[in-house]
Structures are given as structure tokens and as C-alpha cells.
């Protein structure tokens, strides 16, 4: 096992061919199922399976795994104990935590994200539910591909970078990523009355960073759609409340939008806003999945555009896919504004990349620059 002051070895495996994955779970049946699913994908290969964290740490370097699917509760060494050792042994490895849909597992998963895990995936509790869950299979395949591809893109910058290259930013893993210029649009001349934030992979960490960095005088209401199941969104809201000291709660439906409050979309429901006689209310919408998600960012942004128009500000944070682009187009046509997280600080630059490349943004910024920018826009100042 790697000692605490050891230097991580150079990674000798090529950044080409199928994405290399390690599956760590104490259930042989689940390990076998996940391996079967992943090996059936031509661009993924499972290079090692382990029944506990100790075996995973011992075999990480020799396996060359780029993505590790790590169960939380295991004998010998559990996932939380293994996580820092895996990241110490191979800093570029992407760790995908797998946890059952319980309050305790949700709490642990969010803690794991704060300690360096790239993402999490909720796992059905019963083995028969795992084997029959097409949603779980699709999600695990998509997340492995997104994380593996993100890792390779980040690492390719190092190998391709000439000695005389211009300075670059560093991403969340300390890997250089070149700065990219985008065609930007002016911020709406109307000061916003609401901020709507969309996020997915890497979102919880980004949300804590942005919300904690808002100016003390900032008091606009904030809507958040983070791709998460119901059990997790209540825990996320509580973590945000504790981390920021701001009033934050999971939406139950019917609450009146008030200044200074943060509303988190409830897992399994879209978050939308609606005008009522006594004000603007947040609602739970059980409409169809969008972008394979519910909650989805697009319905939230469409409703915000309809109610607030040019007095709306949207923020798109790290996440895979392009959720937020179509809703963002509606919001921009209504006169609102949008800013996004840059590639350098994103875990996966799918969602923010989609809106940036669609020319919807007034700014594409590092995670540390987003909170001050939101504060300036809210105050009517220049970016």
C-alpha cells in the first residue's frame, strides 16, 4: 500500500483504446453484472474486479484503471477508506462512488465528493433490482464513458503542450487546460430578480464553492436543478444550508419564491416556477424525463424564461450531456442572461460546454470567478 509521503508513479498505460475500468464491490454477482455490461461496450474494458478497497488499492497501478467504480460498504476496507488511497496512488484516476438509495449512503456519497470522488451513482438495494434495471445500466455506462473521456482530454493537454506554450489554467485535478475564447453576448440590461443554476457530474462540489462565495449582501432567490435522486436532494439541500449559512430547502411544491432563499429541485420531479395571485411559486412537475433526467435543467429554464424574462440569470455548472442548452436558448430569446463554468475547473465539461459553444453565454469562467460575477450582475455592475 502506498505510504503517505510516497510519490505517485508515472502512469505507463496509453491514453488510447477502450477506457480501462476497475469494479470494486463485495458482491460477486454485482461485480459480474457490471463487468458484463461494461465489457459489452466496444469502447470500455474492465481490467480488474475487487471485493474490497484493500484489493483495489493494491492493484490500481498494475491494472492501469482510469475509472474506478467504488462501492461504499465493504469488508476489510470500505470505499471511504479506500478513496484517498486510490487518489494518492494515481491522482488522475476518476472514482465513481456506488451507493444504495438510503439517507446514510446519500450522506456518505456527498462526503466522498468533497474528498475527491468525481461522481456517484445510486445503486438499487436488491441484486435482482440491479440485474433488471436498464436505467442503472445506462447510467453507469454513460458515466464511465464521460469520466474516462474527460480524464483523457485533460491528460492530452500535457503530452501535446509545446515547451513554449502560453500559460494555461489548471483544472480541478491540477491538470493544465488551455484557455478558450468564446463568442459572448452582452448581459441583460435588466437586473436579475432570480438566479437559476443547473449542474450534474461534479455539481455538488461546484455548488458549495459558488454559493459559499456569494457576497454577503446578495439576496436574490436561487433555484437549483442538480441531477440527483430524491433521497440525495434533501441531503444536498441540508449540506448547502450548513456550508453557506443561507436558507436552503428541497422543494416540496407550492412554496412562494422569496429573496434570500435557495430552492433545490426534488429528485424525481422537475422544478418549475409559476405566477400566482400571491406571488411566484415553485412547483413540482412530473412531466416526462428530459435528457434522461428528472429533474432536468431545461424545464426549469423554460419556466424561468416565461415568468421572469429579461430579469433572469442562468448559471450552468459542470456536468455531462447538454441539459440546459435548449432551455437556455429559450431564456436568451426572452432576454435573460447566462454564464457558465469553464472547462479548466469542470469535472466534465458537457453541460457548460454545450451552452458556451452555442453562443448563449455572457461569460465562461473558472469556478472561483463565478460567485463574484453573479454578485456583480445582481448589483447591475459590469462583469
Residues 6+ apart with CB under 8 A from 114: 204, 205, 208
d(CA 277, CA 257): 13
pLDDT band for position 356 (cuts 50, 70, 90): very high
Is there a catalytic annotation at residue 303? Answer: no
- Please indicate whether the domains covering 19-157 and 182-378 agree at the CATH topology level: yes
Query: For residue 134, is pLDDT > 90?
Result: no
pLDDT band for position 269 (cuts 50, 70, 90): very high
What is residue 2's predicted lDDT score, i.e. its pLDDT? 40
CATH topology of domain 19-157: Rossmann fold (3.40.50)
| Residue of 188, 227, 269, 345 marked catalytic | 227
Is there a catalytic annotation at residue 366? Answer: no
CA distances from 345 to 147, 170, 294, 366 (A): 14, 7, 25, 6
| Residue of 71, 78, 285, 323 marked catalytic | 323
Domain residues of the chain, as ranges? 19-157, 182-378
Name which residue leads in pLDDT, 155 or 285.
285
pLDDT band for position 129 (cuts 50, 70, 90): low
| Residue of 63, 199, 200, 362 marked catalytic | 200
What is the CATH architecture of 182-378?
Answer: 3-Layer(aba) Sandwich (3.40)
What is residue 365's predicted lDDT score, i.e. its pLDDT? 96
pLDDT band for position 180 (cuts 50, 70, 90): low
Is there a catalytic annotation at residue 278? Answer: no
pLDDT band for position 173 (cuts 50, 70, 90): very low
Amino acid at each position: 500500500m502506498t505510504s503517505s509521503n510516497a510519490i505517485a508513479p508515472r502512469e505507463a498505460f496509453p491514453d488510447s483504446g477502450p477506457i480501462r475500468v476497475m469494479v470494486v464491490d463485495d458482491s460477486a454477482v454485482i461485480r459480474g453484472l457490471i463487468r458484463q455490461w461494461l465489457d459489452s461496450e466496444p469502447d470500455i474494458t474492465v481490467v480488474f474486479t475487487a471485493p474490497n478497497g484493500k484489493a483495489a488499492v493494491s492493484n490500481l497501478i498494475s491494472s492501469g484503471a482510469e475509472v474506478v467504480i467504488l462501492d461504499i460498504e465493504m469488508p476489510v476496507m470500505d470505499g471511504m477508506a479506500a478513496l484517498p488511497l486510490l487518489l494518492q496512488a494515481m491522482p488522475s484516476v476518476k472514482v465513481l462512488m456506488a451507493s444504495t438509495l438510503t439517507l446514510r449512503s446519500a450522506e456518505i456519497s456527498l462526503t466522498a465528493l468533497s474528498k475527491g470522488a468525481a461522481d456517484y451513482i445510486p445503486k438499487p438495494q436488491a441484486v435482482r433490482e440491479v440485474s433488471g434495471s436498464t436505467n442503472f445500466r445506462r447510467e453507469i455506462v454513460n458515466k464511465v464513458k464521460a469520466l474516462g473521456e474527460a480524464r483523457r482530454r485533460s491528460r492530452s493537454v500535457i503530452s501535446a503542450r509545446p515547451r513554449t506554450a502560453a500559460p494555461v489554467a489548471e483544472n480541478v485535478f491540477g491538470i493544465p487546460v488551455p484557455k478558450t475564447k468564446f463568442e459572448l453576448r452582452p448581459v441583460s440590461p435588466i437586473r436579475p430578480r432570480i438566479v437559476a443554476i443547473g449542474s450534474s457530474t461534479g455539481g455538488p462540489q461546484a455548488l458549495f464553492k459558488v454559493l459559499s462565495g456569494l457576497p454577503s449582501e446578495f439576496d436574490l432567490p436561487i433555484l437549483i436543478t442538480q441531477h440527483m435522486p430524491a433521497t440525495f436532494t434533501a441531503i444536498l439541500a441540508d449540506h448547502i444550508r450548513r456550508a453557506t449559512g443561507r436558507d436552503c430547502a428541497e422543494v416540496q411544491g407550492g412554496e412562494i419564491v422569496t429573496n434570500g432563499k435557495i430552492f433545490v429541485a426534488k429528485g424525481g420531479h422537475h422544478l418549475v416556477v409559476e405566477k400566482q395571485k400571491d406571488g411566484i411559486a415553485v412547483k413540482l412537475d412530473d412531466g416526462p424525463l428530459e435528457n434522461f433526467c428528472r429533474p432536468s435543467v431545461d424545464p426549469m429554464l423554460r419556466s424561468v424564461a416565461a415568468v421572469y424574462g429579461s430579469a433572469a440569470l442562468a448559471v450552468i455548472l459542470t456536468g455531462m450531456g447538454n441539459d440546459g442548452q435548449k432551455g437556455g436558448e429559450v431564456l436568451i430569446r426572452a432576454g435573460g442572461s447566462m454564464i457558465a463554468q469553464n472547462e479548466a475547473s469542470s469535472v466534465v465539461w458537457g453541460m457548460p460546454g454545450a451552452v458556451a459553444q452555442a453562443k448563449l453565454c455572457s461569460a465562461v469562467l473558472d469556478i472561483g470567478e463565478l460567485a463574484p460575477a453573479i454578485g456583480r450582475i445582481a448589483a447591475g455592475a459590469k462583469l
